[in-house]
Amino acid sequence: MALKIIDQFDSSFTLDPDAKAALFGLLQSEPFLQQVAQQANYPMVEFTELLFQPIPYSAATPKGMPAEFEPFHKTDGYVIINVPPNFMFKAKIFKPSRLCAIYRQAQG
């Protein structure tokens, strides 16, 4: 089995407004914020409302994310998570099949 090298990958997507509202509600729920904060070892976190579709690793995208989101990976105080599949299902988002969300440490 040979590896397929992908030179270009379109990571753009558009969410239906109702699906986006449902997903943001789940991602901003207090129990989920507490769970993300606990896993990140932060006292509190807040959802930045930034989402991206993971992309294949390449020389240009070594972190598996669009280049414009890489600064969040390198900066203290931010955490990137995979959106839980059950959240995607509850929000009725099937394309893209995976999303990542960015949270920042909240000052409290």
The reported pLDDT for the residue numbered 45 is 97
Q: Give the model's pLDDT for residue 8.
A: 53
* pTM assigned to the model: 0.85
Strands 45-52 and 78-82 turn out to be unpaired
CB 80 within 8 A of CB 27: no
Give the start-to-end residue ranges of the domains of the chain: 17-105
pLDDT of 12 strictly over 80? no
pLDDT value, residue 46? 97
Q: Which residue has the tokens 């997507």?
A: 13
- Measure the CA–CA gap between 52 and 98, rounded to whole angstroms: 9
Please give the residue that has the higher pLDDT: either 65 or 77: 77
Q: How many helices (H) and strands (E) does the chain have?
A: 4, 3
Nearest to 82 by CA among 30, 15, 36, 29: 36
Please state which of the ranges 7-11, 32-36, 80-84 shows the lowest mean pLDDT: 7-11
